Chain A
Amino acid sequence: MGVSPSGRDRLVQLLTSDGVRREHPDFNYDGDLPSVAELYRQMVLVRRVDTEGFALQRHGELGLWPPSLGQEAVLVGGAAALGPTDFVYPTYREMLLGWLLGVSISDLLSVWRGSSHGGWDSHRHRFGPMSIVIGSHPLHATGHALGLAMRGQSDSAVIAYFGDGASSQGDVMEAIELAVLQQVPVVFFCQNNQFAISHPVARQSAVPIVQRADGFGLPGIQIDGNDVLACHAVTQAALKQAREGGGPTLIEAITYRMGPHTTSDDPTRYRDAAEVESWRARDPIDRVRAYLATEGWEPAFFDDVDREAEALGESVRAACLAIPEPDLAAWFDNVYAEQTGELRSQQAEYVAWRQQYGGVA
């Protein structure tokens, strides 16, 4: 099962929105039913964390939250498809994929609470810093993959996630071009959620984003981004091909941002409720539940997952409130690996000024 250009001929869907399995000539989900149930569980948990993040913003505990509601299949399918040493370059929309890889919820929330700019151990969790400047990080993925290739490290690949909005950025084009020319092990994964804040994808790209693969000379696969089985199968195949020296792949996952761009956004100004409703029928979680039910999966499982999700939601809130306050004095230590005298001097100046007013030394 290779990633060939033939995959571009039609959207890869392995599970319909009604929960019916479909065959595809090139891609196949090879997990068993318990594995599907685990994907379901993870999607429910991711959605619960996301919902809690949204609520925490509304309660004033977070400054901002970029929801991933409706896009859980990409995150969960992607995380499950990663090999043990594959590395992810995310945007904020894939934040909870990092949680699935072991980044603590506190480290993720602290960005939106105004307590840090990230700070997790990217190597340990195989999860790079979240790109906030749209489209800047696929280049880092290309460079990382070039490094793997130069070291002859054929057991690892890199995946860069970006949105339809980022597909307009020149850096994304340069990343793809450089990766194709060097045939390095990287997968470019575009989450087309239909909007760059308010700008619809039809006004961002004159052709389907996947079609750009032709011009760059790499395989392009369009998948149902709300189908976790397709997300898993295609991501896994593309990563495997990359590891085996087959070069990069462009995946375009067709999905929909059910929520606002961030908690500061008001999507009612630019899209119809009817359109949102039509996508609700294609929900990534409901279809897996329907499929599992059809297959006779134990009904109590769904209740157990819901209970686990509720407890998780409470723990997310507790973790948020327990995030330590940042210290501006310590911030000076984090600019250079080799601190400069100038910054040491400004740091001392700040600490002395703060002490004058009874602040912490």
Chain B
Amino acid sequence: MLKIEDLHVRVDGKEILKGLTLTVPTGEVHAVMGPNGSGKSTLANVLAGRPGYEITAGCVTFQGRDLLALAPQERAREGVFLGFQYPVEIPGVNNVYLLKAAVNAARKHRGLEEVDAFEFLTLVKEKMRLMRMEDSMLSRGVNEGFSGGEKKRNEILQMLVLEPRLAILDETDSGLDIDALKIVAHGVNTLRSPERSLVLVTHYQRLLDHIVPDHVHVLVKGRIARSGDKSLALELERRGYDWVTGEAA
């Protein structure tokens, strides 16, 4: 599904990713963990195509295609989804309109007709119940006046409606209380399937209690310093990042 090879990325002239290599096969859930400043969010943003990141070396293929050659909207239409760490508020742009525009953009890309408005609304409301969101949120501006937890739930709602092939969730657990974390994790779990891959970018192990990953990678100073199964996350939790950063240094 996703293959990252020797990726070097600079931000404002400073190298943040320094030869990152990572393969995520179809149907697997991978967690990328790491201390602050290790390059986790940079990785997520580069995959989604955010401007401001200079790729100096390496390549990323998504389903055999050169992902870095695609514009952000093309990546989205091909089935790449980024769950933002800090979802922006867009007052005046209606939530349901954005969802519909996003779904239709992807459908058009695949040569499909626009979604039926009634069926679409029914589907969205069903997903909203799953995310324990009030229907009234639909008619509000995108993330407008939402609490931190509501914003994250809205990200997952969008993901559930868009049904991406590859979802990258950037610190989706940050700022969530335990109840919200469970709701978010439940939403993510419903999307796990043999055709879909997930990359969970997180600082803490606790999200992984609820979304159990197939593989865990530790990102230190712009490189994968260590990979393992879910037990690696538990060990990290116990011993702290110093354990890996010490080794990597």
Q: Do A and B bind each other?
A: no
Residues on B lying within 8 angstroms of A by beta carbon are: none
